Structure 1
Amino acid sequence: MKVIAFERNLQGTGASRRLRNAGKTPGIVYGVGAEPQLIEVDHNALWHALKKEAFHSSILDLEVAGKSQQVLLRDVQYHPFRQLVLHVDFQRVDPSKKIHTKVPLHFMNQETNPAVKLSGAIISHVLNEIEVVCLPGALPEFVEVDLAKIEAGQTLHAKDIALPAGVTLVAHVEVENPVVASATVPAGAVAAAEGEEAAAE
Protein backbone atom coordinates (compact mmCIF):
# COMPACT_ATOMS: atom_id res chain seq x y z
CA MET A 1 0.00 0.00 0.00
CA LYS A 2 1.22 3.49 -0.81
CA VAL A 3 1.09 6.54 1.45
CA ILE A 4 1.78 10.05 0.17
CA ALA A 5 3.22 12.44 2.75
CA PHE A 6 4.81 15.87 2.77
CA GLU A 7 7.70 17.28 4.73
CA ARG A 8 6.74 19.24 7.82
CA ASN A 9 9.00 21.99 9.11
CA LEU A 10 7.06 23.49 12.00
CA GLN A 11 6.70 21.76 15.37
CA GLY A 12 4.65 22.47 18.46
CA THR A 13 1.02 22.40 19.55
CA GLY A 14 0.02 25.52 17.59
CA ALA A 15 1.56 24.28 14.35
CA SER A 16 -0.08 20.86 14.76
CA ARG A 17 -3.46 22.48 15.43
CA ARG A 18 -3.15 24.57 12.26
CA LEU A 19 -2.27 21.43 10.30
CA ARG A 20 -5.33 19.59 11.60
CA ASN A 21 -7.56 22.57 10.82
CA ALA A 22 -6.22 22.38 7.25
CA GLY A 23 -7.19 18.71 6.98
CA LYS A 24 -3.69 17.35 7.60
CA THR A 25 -2.36 14.95 10.23
CA PRO A 26 1.15 15.48 11.65
CA GLY A 27 3.44 12.47 11.83
CA ILE A 28 6.99 11.23 12.09
CA VAL A 29 9.15 8.66 10.33
CA TYR A 30 12.07 7.15 12.23
CA GLY A 31 14.49 4.22 12.25
CA VAL A 32 17.17 2.47 10.16
CA GLY A 33 20.01 4.73 11.22
CA ALA A 34 18.53 7.87 9.61
CA GLU A 35 17.35 11.04 11.27
CA PRO A 36 13.68 11.19 12.26
CA GLN A 37 11.65 13.05 9.64
CA LEU A 38 8.62 15.20 10.40
CA ILE A 39 5.78 14.66 7.94
CA GLU A 40 2.16 15.58 7.31
CA VAL A 41 -0.46 13.32 5.72
CA ASP A 42 -3.89 14.08 4.26
CA HIS A 43 -6.27 13.30 7.14
CA ASN A 44 -9.17 11.86 5.15
CA ALA A 45 -6.94 9.55 3.12
CA LEU A 46 -5.25 8.38 6.33
CA TRP A 47 -8.60 7.90 8.13
CA HIS A 48 -9.88 5.61 5.36
CA ALA A 49 -6.57 3.74 5.13
CA LEU A 50 -6.64 3.06 8.89
CA LYS A 51 -9.93 1.19 8.45
CA LYS A 52 -8.12 -1.40 6.32
CA GLU A 53 -6.57 -4.25 8.24
CA ALA A 54 -3.64 -4.49 5.82
CA PHE A 55 -2.60 -0.90 6.59
CA HIS A 56 -1.78 -1.96 10.15
CA SER A 57 0.13 -5.14 9.29
CA SER A 58 1.79 -4.64 5.90
CA ILE A 59 4.96 -2.99 4.68
CA LEU A 60 3.87 0.40 3.33
CA ASP A 61 5.51 2.50 0.61
CA LEU A 62 5.74 5.98 2.10
CA GLU A 63 6.53 8.68 -0.42
CA VAL A 64 7.90 11.94 0.96
CA ALA A 65 9.12 14.69 -1.39
CA GLY A 66 9.24 12.26 -4.30
CA LYS A 67 11.35 9.70 -2.45
CA SER A 68 9.84 6.35 -1.47
CA GLN A 69 10.76 4.39 1.63
CA GLN A 70 9.44 1.19 3.16
CA VAL A 71 7.79 1.65 6.55
CA LEU A 72 5.54 -0.03 9.11
CA LEU A 73 2.75 1.78 10.92
CA ARG A 74 3.87 1.86 14.55
CA ASP A 75 1.50 4.17 16.43
CA VAL A 76 -1.71 6.14 15.89
CA GLN A 77 -3.12 8.69 18.32
CA TYR A 78 -6.85 9.31 18.04
CA HIS A 79 -8.93 12.15 19.47
CA PRO A 80 -10.85 10.85 22.54
CA PHE A 81 -14.30 11.44 21.03
CA ARG A 82 -14.01 13.10 17.61
CA GLN A 83 -13.32 11.19 14.39
CA LEU A 84 -9.86 12.66 14.24
CA VAL A 85 -6.35 11.24 13.97
CA LEU A 86 -4.05 13.44 16.05
CA HIS A 87 -0.67 11.94 15.14
CA VAL A 88 0.82 9.00 13.30
CA ASP A 89 4.22 7.25 13.61
CA PHE A 90 5.93 5.21 10.91
CA GLN A 91 9.09 3.13 11.33
CA ARG A 92 11.47 2.59 8.42
CA VAL A 93 12.37 -1.01 7.67
CA ASP A 94 15.59 -2.45 6.30
CA PRO A 95 14.84 -5.20 3.74
CA SER A 96 17.81 -7.21 5.05
CA LYS A 97 16.91 -7.04 8.75
CA LYS A 98 14.19 -9.01 10.50
CA ILE A 99 11.27 -7.10 11.98
CA HIS A 100 9.18 -7.85 15.04
CA THR A 101 5.50 -7.04 14.54
CA LYS A 102 1.93 -8.20 15.09
CA VAL A 103 -0.05 -9.94 12.35
CA PRO A 104 -3.87 -10.40 12.32
CA LEU A 105 -5.31 -13.92 12.63
CA HIS A 106 -8.04 -15.02 10.23
CA PHE A 107 -10.05 -17.99 11.54
CA MET A 108 -11.12 -20.50 8.88
CA ASN A 109 -13.59 -23.45 8.73
CA GLN A 110 -15.34 -22.67 12.01
CA GLU A 111 -18.83 -23.24 10.54
CA THR A 112 -17.94 -26.70 9.20
CA ASN A 113 -16.24 -27.89 12.40
CA PRO A 114 -17.87 -31.19 13.57
CA ALA A 115 -17.80 -30.14 17.24
CA VAL A 116 -19.82 -27.03 16.36
CA LYS A 117 -22.27 -28.84 14.07
CA LEU A 118 -22.77 -32.01 16.11
CA SER A 119 -21.95 -31.17 19.73
CA GLY A 120 -23.19 -27.59 19.92
CA ALA A 121 -19.67 -26.40 20.79
CA ILE A 122 -18.85 -22.70 20.73
CA ILE A 123 -15.41 -21.69 19.47
CA SER A 124 -13.95 -18.63 21.19
CA HIS A 125 -11.19 -16.57 19.57
CA VAL A 126 -8.85 -15.76 22.46
CA LEU A 127 -6.29 -13.88 20.34
CA ASN A 128 -6.96 -11.84 17.22
CA GLU A 129 -3.31 -11.21 16.36
CA ILE A 130 0.05 -12.85 16.93
CA GLU A 131 3.58 -11.46 17.33
CA VAL A 132 6.03 -12.71 14.72
CA VAL A 133 9.58 -12.18 13.48
CA CYS A 134 10.50 -12.20 9.78
CA LEU A 135 12.24 -10.31 7.01
CA PRO A 136 10.09 -7.48 5.61
CA GLY A 137 9.65 -9.32 2.31
CA ALA A 138 8.17 -12.35 4.08
CA LEU A 139 5.67 -10.43 6.22
CA PRO A 140 2.18 -11.91 5.66
CA GLU A 141 -0.84 -9.61 5.53
CA PHE A 142 -2.55 -12.09 7.89
CA VAL A 143 -2.15 -15.65 9.15
CA GLU A 144 -4.89 -18.25 8.66
CA VAL A 145 -5.89 -20.43 11.60
CA ASP A 146 -7.67 -23.63 10.57
CA LEU A 147 -10.42 -24.55 13.04
CA ALA A 148 -11.69 -27.54 11.08
CA LYS A 149 -10.41 -30.20 13.48
CA ILE A 150 -10.51 -28.61 16.93
CA GLU A 151 -12.69 -30.84 19.13
CA ALA A 152 -15.07 -29.96 21.95
CA GLY A 153 -13.10 -29.22 25.10
CA GLN A 154 -9.87 -28.64 23.17
CA THR A 155 -7.74 -25.52 22.87
CA LEU A 156 -5.56 -24.38 19.98
CA HIS A 157 -2.22 -22.83 20.92
CA ALA A 158 0.15 -20.44 19.17
CA LYS A 159 2.55 -23.27 18.23
CA ASP A 160 -0.34 -25.10 16.51
CA ILE A 161 -0.63 -22.34 13.89
CA ALA A 162 0.94 -23.12 10.51
CA LEU A 163 3.07 -20.04 9.81
CA PRO A 164 4.20 -19.08 6.28
CA ALA A 165 7.79 -19.79 5.23
CA GLY A 166 10.32 -17.45 6.82
CA VAL A 167 7.95 -16.40 9.62
CA THR A 168 8.48 -17.46 13.26
CA LEU A 169 6.84 -16.64 16.57
CA VAL A 170 8.70 -14.10 18.72
CA ALA A 171 10.67 -15.74 21.55
CA HIS A 172 8.30 -14.94 24.42
CA VAL A 173 5.23 -16.18 22.48
CA GLU A 174 7.14 -19.36 21.60
CA VAL A 175 7.86 -19.93 25.31
CA GLU A 176 4.43 -18.97 26.65
CA ASN A 177 2.55 -20.72 23.79
CA PRO A 178 -0.72 -18.89 24.59
CA VAL A 179 -4.17 -20.20 23.73
CA VAL A 180 -5.41 -18.82 20.40
CA ALA A 181 -8.85 -20.44 20.28
CA SER A 182 -10.90 -22.82 22.41
CA ALA A 183 -13.94 -25.00 21.80
CA THR A 184 -16.35 -25.30 24.72
CA VAL A 185 -19.76 -26.93 24.99
CA PRO A 186 -22.28 -24.77 26.90
CA ALA A 187 -23.86 -26.39 29.97
CA GLY A 188 -27.27 -26.20 28.29
CA ALA A 189 -26.08 -28.22 25.32
CA VAL A 190 -24.57 -30.88 27.62
CA ALA A 191 -27.82 -31.17 29.61
CA ALA A 192 -29.87 -31.42 26.41
CA ALA A 193 -27.62 -34.17 25.07
CA GLU A 194 -27.86 -36.11 28.36
CA GLY A 195 -31.64 -35.68 28.32
CA GLU A 196 -31.85 -37.10 24.80
CA GLU A 197 -29.70 -40.07 25.83
CA ALA A 198 -31.93 -40.70 28.88
CA ALA A 199 -35.06 -40.53 26.74
CA ALA A 200 -33.56 -43.01 24.28
CA GLU A 201 -32.94 -45.50 27.12
Structure 2
Amino acid sequence: MVQTIRIEAEARERAGKGAARATRRGGRVPAVIYGAKEEATLLSLDPRDVMKEMHKGGWQSHLYEVAVGGKAERCLMREVQFHPVKDTPIHVDFQRLAPGQLIRVKVPVVFQNEDSAPGIKEGGVLNVVRREVEVMSDPDQVPEQFEIDLASAAIGDSLRWSNVADAKGTKPVIVGRDFVVATIAPPTVEEEVVVQAPVAAPAPAPKGKGKK
Protein backbone atom coordinates (compact mmCIF):
# COMPACT_ATOMS: atom_id res chain seq x y z
CA MET A 1 0.00 0.00 0.00
CA VAL A 2 1.25 3.45 -0.89
CA GLN A 3 2.05 5.71 2.06
CA THR A 4 -0.62 8.30 2.80
CA ILE A 5 0.75 11.68 3.88
CA ARG A 6 -1.51 13.85 6.00
CA ILE A 7 -1.46 17.63 5.59
CA GLU A 8 -3.34 19.98 7.89
CA ALA A 9 -5.01 22.87 6.07
CA GLU A 10 -7.25 25.84 6.78
CA ALA A 11 -10.38 26.75 4.83
CA ARG A 12 -10.52 29.83 2.59
CA GLU A 13 -13.83 31.56 1.98
CA ARG A 14 -13.03 33.63 -1.10
CA ALA A 15 -11.53 32.82 -4.49
CA GLY A 16 -9.72 35.17 -6.84
CA LYS A 17 -6.32 36.81 -7.15
CA GLY A 18 -7.02 39.37 -4.45
CA ALA A 19 -7.98 36.73 -1.91
CA ALA A 20 -4.94 34.65 -2.86
CA ARG A 21 -2.62 37.64 -2.34
CA ALA A 22 -4.20 38.27 1.06
CA THR A 23 -3.56 34.63 1.99
CA ARG A 24 0.11 34.96 1.04
CA ARG A 25 0.47 38.17 3.03
CA GLY A 26 -0.77 36.18 6.01
CA GLY A 27 2.11 33.73 5.57
CA ARG A 28 0.03 30.94 4.05
CA VAL A 29 -0.05 29.26 0.63
CA PRO A 30 -3.41 29.28 -1.19
CA ALA A 31 -4.53 25.91 -2.54
CA VAL A 32 -7.54 24.20 -4.07
CA ILE A 33 -8.94 20.66 -4.18
CA TYR A 34 -10.89 19.85 -7.34
CA GLY A 35 -12.31 16.85 -9.17
CA ALA A 36 -14.58 13.82 -8.61
CA LYS A 37 -17.56 15.90 -9.84
CA GLU A 38 -17.64 17.84 -6.56
CA GLU A 39 -17.40 21.53 -5.83
CA ALA A 40 -13.86 22.85 -5.47
CA THR A 41 -12.57 23.24 -1.92
CA LEU A 42 -10.56 26.39 -1.20
CA LEU A 43 -7.89 26.10 1.47
CA SER A 44 -4.51 27.39 2.61
CA LEU A 45 -1.38 25.54 3.66
CA ASP A 46 1.65 26.11 5.84
CA PRO A 47 4.50 26.78 3.35
CA ARG A 48 6.80 24.57 5.44
CA ASP A 49 4.53 21.58 4.76
CA VAL A 50 4.67 22.27 1.01
CA MET A 51 8.46 22.61 0.92
CA LYS A 52 8.85 19.45 2.97
CA GLU A 53 7.08 17.52 0.22
CA MET A 54 9.07 19.24 -2.51
CA HIS A 55 12.34 18.20 -0.88
CA LYS A 56 11.22 14.56 -0.71
CA GLY A 57 10.88 14.24 -4.46
CA GLY A 58 8.31 12.10 -6.24
CA TRP A 59 5.46 14.14 -4.74
CA GLN A 60 3.30 13.67 -7.83
CA SER A 61 3.11 9.95 -7.06
CA HIS A 62 2.27 10.32 -3.37
CA LEU A 63 -1.18 9.98 -1.89
CA TYR A 64 -2.25 12.84 0.39
CA GLU A 65 -4.94 13.15 3.01
CA VAL A 66 -5.72 16.86 3.25
CA ALA A 67 -7.60 17.72 6.44
CA VAL A 68 -9.65 20.92 6.40
CA GLY A 69 -12.72 21.94 8.38
CA GLY A 70 -12.97 18.59 10.17
CA LYS A 71 -13.01 16.67 6.88
CA ALA A 72 -10.11 14.76 5.31
CA GLU A 73 -9.98 14.23 1.55
CA ARG A 74 -7.77 11.82 -0.36
CA CYS A 75 -5.90 13.70 -3.07
CA LEU A 76 -2.98 13.80 -5.45
CA MET A 77 -0.82 16.92 -5.55
CA ARG A 78 -0.94 17.88 -9.21
CA GLU A 79 0.76 21.27 -9.50
CA VAL A 80 2.83 23.62 -7.36
CA GLN A 81 3.47 27.17 -8.56
CA PHE A 82 6.54 29.06 -7.32
CA HIS A 83 7.43 32.72 -7.06
CA PRO A 84 9.70 33.57 -10.02
CA VAL A 85 12.24 35.40 -7.84
CA LYS A 86 11.91 34.09 -4.27
CA ASP A 87 11.35 30.46 -5.39
CA THR A 88 8.72 30.01 -2.66
CA PRO A 89 5.41 28.18 -3.23
CA ILE A 90 2.54 30.51 -4.16
CA HIS A 91 -0.23 28.05 -5.08
CA VAL A 92 -0.97 24.31 -4.89
CA ASP A 93 -3.50 22.26 -6.87
CA PHE A 94 -4.81 18.97 -5.48
CA GLN A 95 -6.91 16.46 -7.42
CA ARG A 96 -9.61 14.75 -5.39
CA LEU A 97 -9.78 10.97 -5.77
CA ALA A 98 -13.14 9.44 -6.61
CA PRO A 99 -13.99 5.94 -5.29
CA GLY A 100 -12.34 3.31 -7.47
CA GLN A 101 -10.11 5.82 -9.25
CA LEU A 102 -6.62 4.62 -10.16
CA ILE A 103 -3.54 6.71 -9.44
CA ARG A 104 -0.36 7.09 -11.47
CA VAL A 105 2.74 6.05 -9.51
CA LYS A 106 6.35 5.00 -10.08
CA VAL A 107 7.32 1.61 -8.64
CA PRO A 108 11.02 0.64 -8.25
CA VAL A 109 12.35 -2.50 -9.97
CA VAL A 110 14.49 -5.03 -8.06
CA PHE A 111 16.56 -7.70 -9.83
CA GLN A 112 16.79 -11.15 -8.22
CA ASN A 113 19.67 -13.69 -8.56
CA GLU A 114 22.03 -11.25 -10.24
CA ASP A 115 25.10 -13.08 -8.87
CA SER A 116 24.00 -16.41 -10.35
CA ALA A 117 22.87 -15.14 -13.76
CA PRO A 118 24.77 -17.01 -16.53
CA GLY A 119 25.31 -13.82 -18.49
CA ILE A 120 26.81 -12.04 -15.48
CA LYS A 121 29.08 -15.01 -14.70
CA GLU A 122 30.41 -14.90 -18.26
CA GLY A 123 31.40 -11.27 -17.82
CA GLY A 124 28.23 -9.60 -19.02
CA VAL A 125 26.98 -6.38 -17.47
CA LEU A 126 23.48 -5.65 -16.21
CA ASN A 127 22.38 -2.52 -18.06
CA VAL A 128 19.33 -1.06 -16.28
CA VAL A 129 17.13 0.93 -18.66
CA ARG A 130 14.35 1.67 -16.15
CA ARG A 131 14.96 1.60 -12.41
CA GLU A 132 11.30 2.51 -11.93
CA VAL A 133 8.20 1.65 -13.94
CA GLU A 134 5.29 4.10 -14.02
CA VAL A 135 1.95 2.36 -13.64
CA MET A 136 -1.72 2.95 -12.90
CA SER A 137 -2.72 1.36 -9.61
CA ASP A 138 -5.42 1.17 -6.99
CA PRO A 139 -4.35 3.60 -4.21
CA ASP A 140 -4.72 0.85 -1.62
CA GLN A 141 -2.81 -1.77 -3.62
CA VAL A 142 0.34 0.02 -4.79
CA PRO A 143 3.22 -2.51 -4.73
CA GLU A 144 6.43 -1.60 -2.92
CA GLN A 145 8.52 -2.99 -5.79
CA PHE A 146 8.52 -5.10 -8.95
CA GLU A 147 10.83 -8.12 -9.18
CA ILE A 148 12.62 -9.56 -12.23
CA ASP A 149 14.48 -12.89 -11.92
CA LEU A 150 17.87 -13.04 -13.66
CA ALA A 151 18.51 -16.72 -12.86
CA SER A 152 18.52 -17.73 -16.55
CA ALA A 153 19.50 -14.41 -18.16
CA ALA A 154 22.28 -14.77 -20.75
CA ILE A 155 24.44 -12.24 -22.54
CA GLY A 156 22.34 -10.38 -25.09
CA ASP A 157 19.04 -11.02 -23.29
CA SER A 158 16.51 -8.20 -22.81
CA LEU A 159 14.39 -8.20 -19.66
CA ARG A 160 10.99 -6.70 -20.41
CA TRP A 161 7.76 -5.77 -18.64
CA SER A 162 6.54 -9.32 -19.32
CA ASN A 163 9.44 -10.60 -17.18
CA VAL A 164 8.09 -8.87 -14.06
CA ALA A 165 7.23 -11.70 -11.67
CA ASP A 166 3.92 -10.19 -10.52
CA ALA A 167 2.43 -6.93 -11.80
CA LYS A 168 0.07 -7.01 -8.77
CA GLY A 169 -2.91 -5.71 -10.68
CA THR A 170 -1.17 -2.62 -12.03
CA LYS A 171 -1.15 -1.45 -15.64
CA PRO A 172 1.91 0.25 -17.17
CA VAL A 173 1.56 3.76 -18.52
CA ILE A 174 3.49 2.65 -21.62
CA VAL A 175 0.98 0.70 -23.71
CA GLY A 176 1.12 -1.21 -26.96
CA ARG A 177 4.57 -2.75 -26.51
CA ASP A 178 6.50 -5.03 -24.20
CA PHE A 179 9.08 -2.40 -23.23
CA VAL A 180 12.63 -3.14 -22.08
CA VAL A 181 13.50 -2.75 -18.39
CA ALA A 182 17.09 -4.02 -18.53
CA THR A 183 19.56 -5.91 -20.74
CA ILE A 184 22.57 -8.16 -20.21
CA ALA A 185 25.24 -6.40 -22.24
CA PRO A 186 28.37 -8.21 -23.48
CA PRO A 187 31.64 -7.45 -21.73
CA THR A 188 33.60 -4.52 -23.03
CA VAL A 189 36.78 -5.60 -24.79
CA GLU A 190 39.53 -3.05 -24.83
CA GLU A 191 41.86 -3.31 -27.78
CA GLU A 192 45.52 -3.01 -26.93
CA VAL A 193 47.12 -0.27 -28.95
CA VAL A 194 50.84 -0.68 -29.53
CA VAL A 195 52.59 2.60 -30.06
CA GLN A 196 55.81 2.21 -31.96
CA ALA A 197 58.62 4.68 -31.55
CA PRO A 198 59.30 6.65 -34.72
CA VAL A 199 62.24 5.36 -36.75
CA ALA A 200 65.03 7.89 -36.80
CA ALA A 201 66.08 9.04 -40.24
CA PRO A 202 69.63 8.03 -41.20
CA ALA A 203 72.25 10.69 -40.63
CA PRO A 204 73.47 12.34 -43.83
CA ALA A 205 76.80 11.07 -45.12
CA PRO A 206 79.70 13.47 -44.61
CA LYS A 207 80.60 15.45 -47.70
CA GLY A 208 83.81 14.35 -49.38
CA LYS A 209 86.69 16.75 -49.97
CA GLY A 210 86.71 18.25 -53.47
CA LYS A 211 89.64 17.90 -55.89
CA LYS A 212 92.10 20.67 -56.01
TM-score (norm 1): 0.71
Distance 1:68 1:157, change over 3 A: same
Question: Which residue of 160, 163, 168 corresponds with 2:171?
Answer: 168
Task: Give the equivalent residue in structure 2 for 1:178.
Answer: 179
Distance 1:45 1:98, change over 3 A: closer
Q: Deviations over 1:66-125 (max 9, x none)?
A: 111212222333455754233222222233x23141323244459747445652515233
The alignment partner of 2:156 has SS state of coil
The alignment partner of 1:165 has SS state of coil
Q: Provide structure 1 residue ranges, at least 5 long, that are not aligned to the other structure.
A: 196-201
Q: Does 1:2 align with 2:2?
A: no
Distance 1:105 1:86, change over 3 A: farther
Question: Which residue of 23, 34, 39 corresponds with 2:38?
Answer: 34
Contact conserved, 1:7 with 1:38, CA < 8 A, in 2?
A: yes
Q: Provide structure 2 residue ranges, at least 5 long, that are not aligned to the other structure.
A: 193-212
Q: Does 1:121 align with 2:125?
A: yes
Task: Give the equivalent residue in structure 1 for 2:156.
Answer: 153
Q: Deviations over 1:171-199 (max 9, x none)?
A: xx24223222334346xx2347xx8xxxx
Task: Give the equivalent residue in structure 1 for 2:20.
Answer: 16
Q: 1 CA distance for matches of 2:48 and 2:121?
A: 44
Q: 1 CA distance for matches of 2:177 and 2:82?
A: 32
Q: 2 CA distance for matches of 1:100 and 1:23?
A: 31
Deviation at 1:35, TM superposition (A): 0.7
Task: Give the equivalent residue in structure 2 for 1:86.
Answer: 90
Distance 1:24 1:119, change over 3 A: farther
Question: Which residue of 45, 49, 61 corresponds with 1:57?
Answer: 61
Task: Give the equivalent residue in structure 1 for 2:75.
Answer: 71
Contact conserved, 1:4 with 1:64, CA < 8 A, in 2?
A: yes
The alignment partner of 2:53 has SS state of helix
- Alignment: residue pair count: 186
Computing the radius of gyration from Cα coordinates, the structure with the larger value is 2
Distance 1:151 1:44, change over 3 A: farther
The alignment partner of 2:176 has SS state of helix
Q: 1 CA distance for matches of 2:83 and 2:8?
A: 22
Contact conserved, 1:93 with 1:136, CA < 8 A, in 2?
A: no
Q: Does 1:131 align with 2:135?
A: yes
Q: 2 CA distance for matches of 1:47 and 1:147?
A: 38
Deviation at 1:16, TM superposition (A): 3.3
Deviation at 1:63, TM superposition (A): 0.6
Distance 1:86 1:159, change over 3 A: farther
TM-score (norm 2): 0.68
Question: Which residue of 98, 101, 104 corresponds with 1:101?
Answer: 104
Q: 1 CA distance for matches of 2:47 and 2:113?
A: 37
